[in-house]
Structure formats: structure tokens, C-alpha cells
């Protein structure tokens, strides 16, 4: 169905950090016509990056860009900017995010929302002083149609007694020892969390949203590739954790169950595999971006046959689009849907057209508690209770 004319409120954005993710946002904003029945639209009017070539791409590709800055503080003085998307290395999150919030701009910030727990606490304190500013953390995978439907089943209590949950996010490009080092392998820029800070918020977003907060954690962390080419003919030490398996216990009013969370930079064969598996007495279900069309599930009633079903889920996420339901959904679609959720919340607040919001700062803060406890668990070789 082609929608009628709907007035769209423009939200004027500045982008701080014009790298991989900054460009993804620009591409999502450029195809806003994909979305139907939304009364908001982003317009990127300013960008900031100290590297001129990074900002240059925006100058060339994004006609709405009117201001290019090399210092984000200058951008924050611009009164025309309503909101900021910030995608910079982790050691810069605390300073830049707090300055954005203090300037009164709404913020979609990239995970992990601070390089460590102390940095995250500074961001949370600034948020508390500016309740008028909407702050959210980027996490797009719950907007895949299969994940979105799985989330609705959790919200509707369809699983019965939960027996176990497993959630993970696996990459594999670091299997190649010749891949040059980058900021994600260094503690100073990525943080001691390593792969947990890099990938962990993605894994925790849905569990935390549905109240599955780890009570304690036993971590098994691994460093496998010790050094990498430094890009100047030499080798540089890799300092951060490559892989993490966190065995946690969840204790809710409805019951207790184990939840295994894994984040891996070296999972052979996995390019960007995000998955969630929920096993319950009435229903079990699993979604993985490895098979992005498919949702596997097994309803069960006592005495009935136990048979898994696999369905090709239609292209139906949080916000309706012009794409026909038979077509496939992909990474850039999930980014578009996440952006719609952020803009919807800025414009419509409690009256969003659907209720799944982007990850909240409180969820990001909980993820820091999990990662900090995981580091302690690894150091001590024991299970650590979350404070």
C-alpha cells in the first residue's frame, strides 16, 4: 500500500566521527523514503572529523551537509543542530558524549558508552543532569525481523519456564594473523574489555530489555593473536581480549536460569554472526544473522511431538517500509530501522508508533557492570557477583 502524504518533522543532525559507522548513518538517512507512515526524518547538516579525507566523503556524498568541522566543540556551538550521532573510538566516548549532552543535543552514541565503568559513570551523571536530552546507545540487531518477532514472543511470555538463554556476537576477520593492527586491539583506545566492549552491548541489549540481568558471572577470556603488522613494516603487540565466554545466572521473579553470553573476534567462519537462542518449556526459538531470513522455533505442549519449525520471516520490522514482504532484510536495513526508532522517540517520546526503543543508557551501564565483573572473574578465576 502506498501511504498518503504525511508531514515529517525534520531533525537536524551533526555526525561526530566520519568513519565506518558515520557513513552507515549517512546512507540510512539518504534512503529515508524507504520508510512509510513515519512523521520524522533526519537531515545531516554538519559533520566533524579531524581526518580531512573522512569528512570529505560526506562533502561529496551528502548534499545536506552545510558545515564541516575538525573540532567537535565548534560543532556543538551550532544552534541549528538538534541531535548528534557520535561514532568515535572508545577512549573518546566519555568526554565527547558528556559535552554533547551538556550542549543540549539529543545523542545516539555508539557502544560501549565509555571505555570502562568510570567513563560510563561520567556519562550517566551528565545524563542525570539533563533529563530533557534523549540519549540512546546504538544497537541494531534486534530490528532484524526474526529477532524482532522473537522479542515480541518474550514480551508476551510465550516461552513458559525459561530453561536457558544463549546470546552471542561472533566475528572472524582476526583469524588472519596478517590483518594489520587497529585501535580495537589496543587498551588505550578500545579499553581493557577488548571484545566485550566492542561487541557485548549488542549481545546484552535484548536480554536486558526483557529483564534478564545477570546476577553473577564466570568469565573465560582468551587472547590468541599476540602481535600484528603495524602498517609500517614492523609488528605491534595486541593487548585486548579476542574472545569472551561469560557464563551467567539470571534470577527473576519467574525463576532462575543460566545465560551464556559470548563475544568473539576470532570465531572461524563467522563474518558478523549475532544470535539469540531462548529455550523454554512452552516454546524454544533461535534467530541468527547467519541465516537472516530464518527463525527456528519449537512450540510444545505436554505429550506432544517435539518438532522444530523453520520459517522464512517476512520483511517486517519495527517500521513499515516500501519493501515487499517476500524480500530479504540485511544489515543496512537494521541500521535504518534503529534510526527510525531513535527519531521516533525524539519526536513522539511516549507515543512512538511501536514500543521497542534503541538501547538505553541504563542498559549500557548494566553492560559495563557485566564486563567489569567479567574482568575480575578472569583475574581471580572465580564467579563474581554483580554489585
Q: For the segment 218-237, give every residue that binds ligand NAD (CB under 6 A).
A: none
C-alpha span between 193 and 198 (Å, rounded): 8
C-alpha span between 45 and 55 (Å, rounded): 12
Maximum alpha-carbon separation in the chain: 67
Select 9 or 173, whichever has its Cβ closest to ligand NAD.
Answer: 173
Size of the residue set binding ligand NAD (CB under 6 A):
22
Closest approach of ligand NAD to the CB of residue 55, in Å:
8
Q: Can residue 195 be called a binding residue for ligand NAD (CB under 6 A)? A: no
Report the residue from 82, 116, 126, 198 that binds ligand NAD according to the rule CB under 6 A. 198
Report the residue from 62, 76, 88, 124 that binds ligand NAD according to the rule CB under 6 A. 88
Q: Counting every residue, how long is the chain?
A: 387
Contact 216, 383 (CB under 8 A): yes
> C-alpha distances in angstroms, 294 versus 157, 165, 270, 290, 311?
21, 19, 17, 9, 6
Closest approach of ligand NAD to the CB of residue 328, in Å:
19
Closest approach of ligand NAD to the CB of residue 140, in Å:
6
Report the residue from 11, 12, 17, 144 that binds ligand NAD according to the rule CB under 6 A. 17
Contact 202, 230 (CB under 8 A): no
- In this structure, the strands spanning 214-222 and 384-385 are antiparallel
Q: Can residue 87 be called a binding residue for ligand NAD (CB under 6 A)? A: yes
If we measure between CA atoms, which residue out of 302, 268, 261, 262 comes closest to residue 282?
A: 302
Select 121 or 215, whichever has its Cβ closest to ligand NAD.
Answer: 121
C-alpha span between 252 and 247 (Å, rounded): 16
Closest approach of ligand NAD to the CB of residue 91, in Å:
9
Select 110 or 297, whichever has its Cβ closest to ligand NAD.
Answer: 110
End-to-end distance of the chain based on CA atoms, in angstroms?
A: 51
57: Cβ contacts below 8 Å, ≥ 6 apart: 18, 23
Which span (1-9, 84-92, 302-310, 359-367) binds ligand NAD, by CB under 6 A?
A: 84-92
Q: Can residue 20 be called a binding residue for ligand NAD (CB under 6 A)? A: yes
Closest approach of ligand NAD to the CB of residue 281, in Å:
34
Q: Can residue 326 be called a binding residue for ligand NAD (CB under 6 A)? A: no
Select 138 or 321, whichever has its Cβ closest to ligand NAD.
Answer: 138
Omega before residue 289 within 30° of 0, cis: no
Q: For the segment 42-71, give every residue that binds ligand NAD (CB under 6 A).
A: 48-51, 54
Q: List residues near ligand NAD by CB under 6 A.
A: 16-21, 48-51, 54, 72, 87-90, 92, 110-111, 138, 140, 198
Amino acid at each position: 500500500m502506498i501511504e498518503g502524504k504525511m508531514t515529517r518533522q525534520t531533525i537536524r543532525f551533526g555526525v561526530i566521527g566520519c568513519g565506518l559507522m558515520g557513513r552507515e548513518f549517512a546512507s540510512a538517512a539518504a534512503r529515508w523514503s524507504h520508510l512509510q507512515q513515519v512523521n520524522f526524518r533526519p537531515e545531516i547538516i554538519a559533520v566533524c572529523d579531524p581526518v580531512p579525507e573522512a569528512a570529505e566523503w560526506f562533502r561529496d556524498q551528502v548534499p545536506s551537509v552545510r558545515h564541516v568541522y575538525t573540532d567537535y566543540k565548534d560543532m556543538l556551538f551550532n544552534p541549528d543542530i538538534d541531535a548528534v550521532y557520535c561514532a568515535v573510538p572508545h577512549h573518546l566516548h566519555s568526554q565527547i558524549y558528556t559535552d554533547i549532552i551538556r550542549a543540549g543535543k539529543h545523542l545516539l552514541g555508539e557502544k560501549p558508552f565509555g571505555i570502562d565503568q568510570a567513563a560510563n559513570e561520567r556519562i550517566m551523571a551528565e545524563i542525570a543532569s539533563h533529563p530533557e536530552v534523549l540519549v540512546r546507545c546504538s544497537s541494531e540487531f534486534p530490528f532484524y525481523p526474526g529477532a524482532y518477532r522473537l522479542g515480541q514472543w518474550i514480551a508476551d511470555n510465550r516461552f513458559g519456564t525459561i530453561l536457558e538463554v544463549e546470546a552471542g556476537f561472533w566475528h572472524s576477520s582476526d583469524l588472519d594473523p596478517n590483518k594489520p593492527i587497529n585501535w580495537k586491539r589496543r587498551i588505550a583506545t578500545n579499553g581493557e574489555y577488548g571484545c566485550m566492549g566492542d561487541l557485548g552491548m549488542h549481545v546484552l541489549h535484548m536480554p536486558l530489555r526483557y529483564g534478564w540481568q545477570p546476577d553473577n558471572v564466570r568469565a573465560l577470556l582468551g587472547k590468541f593473536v599476540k602481535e600484528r603488522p603495524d602498517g609500517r613494516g614492523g609488528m605491534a603487540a595486541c593487548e585486548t581480549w579476542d574472545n569472551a565466554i561469560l557464563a551467567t545466572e539470571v534470577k527473576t521473579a519467574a525463576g532462575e536460569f543460566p545465560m551464556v553470553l559470548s563475544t568473539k573476534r576470532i570465531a572461524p567462519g563467522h563474518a558478523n554472526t549475532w544470535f539469540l537462542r531462548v529455550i523454554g518449556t512452552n516454546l524454544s526459538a533461535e534467530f541468527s544473522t547467519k541465516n537472516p531470513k530464518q527463525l527456528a522455533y519449537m512450540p510444545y505442549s505436554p505429550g506432544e511431538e517435539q518438532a522444530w519449525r523453520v520459517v522464512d520471516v517476512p520483511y517486517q520490522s519495527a517500521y513499515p517500509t516500501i519493501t515487499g514482504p517476500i524480500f530479504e532484510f540485511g544489515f543496512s536495513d537494521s541500521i535504518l530501522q534503529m534510526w527510525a526508532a531513535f527519531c521516533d522517540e525524539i519526536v513522539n517520546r511516549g507515543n512512538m508508533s511501536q514500543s521497542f526503543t534503541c538501547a538505553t543508557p541504563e542498559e549500557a551501564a548494566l553492560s559495563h557492570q557485566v564486563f567489569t565483573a567479567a574482568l575480575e572473574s578472569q583475574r581471580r578465576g572465580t564467579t563474581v557477583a554483580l554489585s
